[in-house]
Every structure is written in C-alpha cells, then in structure tokens.
Amino acid sequence: MSASTADPPGTSYARHFAEAGYGIAEDVLAETDVEHLRRAIASLPAGKEVKRRQGVYGVRNLLEICPEVRDLACDARIRSFVTPILGEAAFAVRAVFFDKLPGANWSLYWHQDNVIAVQRRVELPGFTGWSNKAGVWQVQPPVEVLGRMVAVRIHLDDCDGTNGPLRVLPGSHRHGWLDDDLAEWKARVPEVACLVRAGGVVVMSPLTLHASAAAEAAGHRRVIHLEYASEELPGELDWHNRVR
C-alpha cells in the first residue's frame, strides 16, 4: 500500500508496511458507521476510564466498556489491515480513544509507543517500568514484542493539516529503541503528515517514531486507537485483552 491509497490490503500493503512502518487508507467505514461510533463514545458513563472536558477527550479500556468498539475490533474491514502483517490469529489487545478539544488541546513530541496492557504484574527480565492506569497493569516489554504488533487508528473526523494530525518518520520502526537518536532521525528523515478523512484509517507500528501538534483551530479530531498482537507473552504474563 502506498502512503495514501484505498486499495484493498494484500501483499503490496504488507510490503509497504514492513518498509515504512505505517499506511493510510480512505473510506474504510461508511458515514453511518462513523456516526454510530461517535454516539457510542459520547454516551459512555462517567468512570475512571473516561476523561471529560467540554466533552469526552480521552478513554482507556475501550474493549471492556464499549461494546461498539469491541465489535469494531472484530470487523473484517479493520482486521483486513492487520492479518496481512500478523496473520489470521491476530487479536485486539487494547483500545483507547482521544480527541482534541479547546479545553484539552494536547500535543506529543516525537516518541515510540512503549507499553502493553497485561492481566497482572509478573516480574520477568526485560519487562520494566510497571504502572497501573485505570485499573490495568501496563509495562514496557522487550522491543521485539512491540515490533510484532500493529496499531489501527480509526478516524471519526476529517484530519487535515490544521487539527494536529499524526506525523511519522518512515522506516524508524526497524531500528529498535531510538530514545538517543531522535534528533538524528528528525534531521535525516522527512516527516509525513497522516491526513485522512472521517471513516479512514492510519495503520502503524508502535515503534514508528511519531508526533502530534496541538490543533490550530477549534473542532474535533476523534480517533479510536486499536492495538493488535498475535503471539503469547512469556512466562505467566498474559495480555489484558484478546478480542478477535
């Protein structure tokens, strides 16, 4: 798949993802599907997982608390972007939601996603930085674990250059942890802004260097972020969710 295409995923898509660490596809969900998901998120009851400020702007543990998102994780249209990379055995392990609102207009500097959600804390070599957020244990695993995962970001609003789009550095996912090499990568590799209309998706490796600026104009930039894996964790560690 090229950096922006609506072609069905397949061999060329998997090859592009392996090289670039991201991909974009338009018109994956219909407008009726998008509106259904918007309403489902907006109607979530108050709880430790839901952050509100002039509306819902962040939600954790969506696979547990939102049946519509759980169904979305199993939707063949979404899984079609995962199985060419991870295989038919792939399962969703985590889902979060985020928006950019006037009262919660956040930004993120260049980084790699570095934690997974697990059932319980089990001390194992290579698993560090334990934390518990909204009742769920999170840990930084060895880089190889994240390298065998895929994230699918489903856009519920048009995302252009003014509302803080995801920006990526292609190919950075193939080089392990890059904490000490951020400046070198940013100087050497041109960034790509992932612009996509509502109903489209951005697929990325958790290890792809990415960033997001604050939105320049008031309005929504709602995204459901689904993470998938296909392999078991070592020892007695287990994924917090496995939805397929």
62 Cβ neighbours under 8 A, 6+ residues apart: 49, 69, 70, 95, 96, 97, 224
Pairing relationship of beta strands 116-118 and 22-25 according to DSSP bridges: unpaired
Question: What is the spatial distance between Cα 241 and Cα 118, in angstroms, rounded to a whole number?
Answer: 8
Under the banding of pLDDT at 50, 70 and 90, the label for residue 54 is very low
Which tens digit of pLDDT belongs to each residue from 160-214?
988 889 999 999 999 999 987 788 888 899 999 999 999 999 999 999 999 988 7
234-239 average pLDDT score:
96
The pLDDT tens digits of the residues spanning 126-157 come to 999 999 988 899 999 999 999 999 999 999 99
Task: State pTM to two decimals.
Answer: 0.91
What is the set of domains in the chain, with CATH numbers? 11-108+115-154+192-229 (2.60.120.620)
The tokens for 89 are: 């055995």
Distance from the first to the final alpha carbon of the chain: 24
Helices 67-74 + 31-42 axis angle, to 10: 140
The torsion of the CA quartet 192, 6, 221, 228, rounded to 10 degrees, works out to -90
Report which DSSP code applies to 49. Answer: T
